[in-house]
Amino acid sequence: MSFISTMGQTQDQIGRLKNLQLQLGTLQTQISTGKKSQTLKGLGNDVIITKRARADFQKLDSYMLNIDRANTRIAQMQGGLSTIKTQANNVLDSIVNQTQKGDIELDSIRRLADNAYDFIVDTLNLKDGTAFIFAGSDTASQPIIDSGAIDAYYADLNAQWSAGTLPITPPNTTISQEYISRYRNIPEVTLGLSGTLTDSKQVYVRADDTVEINYTLKANNQAMKDILTAVSAMRNISNLDVAPGAAEQEKQNYFFEVFNDVANLISSAVDKLDVEGFKLSTAQAQLNDVRKEHVIEKNTLLNTISSIEDIDLNEAAVKIQSLGVQLEASYQVTALVSKLSLANYL
């Protein structure tokens, strides 16, 4: 007598069904997420490659964030330079025009210089969020404060100038040369510049593993100081009729010597600011070049990550269709096996 048991066959078929259902569930998840696995462990031996690619991708993101922040500040600095040059040129044009006319309207020049000075001070105190952009590395300290010290300095200087009592120190030989020397060498603290500017460090942006780019421009840059000095001189300049000298011609000579020197100082300072602007543009161009390289590298890394982690939707759709057919057939086989008996078998 033969005994036919269908239990083993049924259990085996049920196991196959569970395996097919598991595969089907995995494919459904892959299609809905677009990913081969919901965990890195599920990527097998490729996990090391994708983890490295993701780490490099995040590092590039950090560098690009640094570059974008630096570009924002450079753009602000360039805008600030443009404002300062415009105000300085307005004062310079006023001086030149007045000189060409022959009649000096000092009140008009003073008002223009006073307005320009306020614009310049506000620009030197420009901020990116909470950071002062013309403060060097010490971005928390305001670069310049108009405490009135500069006006007090000129009040004393002009009083000595007008009275003809300004001590002349070598190598100067005339009172006008001494006056020029005094305002060209005004201490930074008298100009209102922060003492922290001297100690603040250069500003660099880390753009890559081996690339650091300097985009420093501080408020105590010599060109900035020259413009502050010249504009301050014009907003505080004495009248022509109180210039020192015994004769009218001597007074005029002394006055116009100072007047022309201020114009030359502004013109030279504006040219120097053009050089600083070129440096900023060069730094910006270098940053943009590095950023373009990072974009290319990120795309390469994304392709690497995608090739390992992402699924081919078309391929997955074919597989899920095939599994559906297999499941349907397995259900039918299971149903048949479960109905087998010795009588039916015989």
pLDDT in tens, 158-194: 899 888 899 999 999 999 999 999 999 999 999 999 9
Q: Is the pLDDT of residue 100 over 90?
A: no
Using left for φ > 0, alpha for ψ between -120 and 50, and beta otherwise, residue 214 falls in: beta
Domain regions of the chain by residue span: 75-270, 311-346
What is the pLDDT, as a whole number, of residue 255?
A: 85
Q: Is the pLDDT of residue 74 over 60?
A: yes
Q: Is the pLDDT of residue 28 over 60?
A: no
The whole-number average pLDDT for the span 44-73 is 87
Q: Is the pLDDT of residue 318 over 70?
A: no
**The token pair that represents 51 in the structure block:** 């983890």
Q: Is the pLDDT of residue 2 over 50?
A: no
With pLDDT > 70 as the criterion, what percentage of the chain qualifies? 73
Burial (CB < 10 A; 0-12, 13-18, 19+), residue 219, is: buried
Q: Pick from 202, 236, 230: which is nearest to 111 by CA?
A: 236
**The token pair that represents 308 in the structure block:** 């390992």
Considering the segment(s) 75-270 as one domain, its CATH architecture is Up-down Bundle (1.20)
Q: Is the pLDDT of residue 343 over 50?
A: no
The whole-angstrom separation of Cα 311 and Cα 194 is 60
The whole-number average pLDDT for the span 204-217 is 95
Bridge-based pairing of strands 127-128 and 131-132 is antiparallel
Supply the pTM of this predicted model.
Answer: 0.77
What is the pLDDT, as a whole number, of residue 326?
A: 58
Q: Is the pLDDT of residue 134 over 80?
A: yes
The whole-angstrom separation of Cα 230 and Cα 236 is 10
Q: Is the pLDDT of residue 1 over 90?
A: no
The whole-number average pLDDT for the span 265-291 is 96
The whole-number average pLDDT for the span 2-11 is 54
Is the CA virtual torsion 158, 159, 161, 165 positive or negative?
A: negative
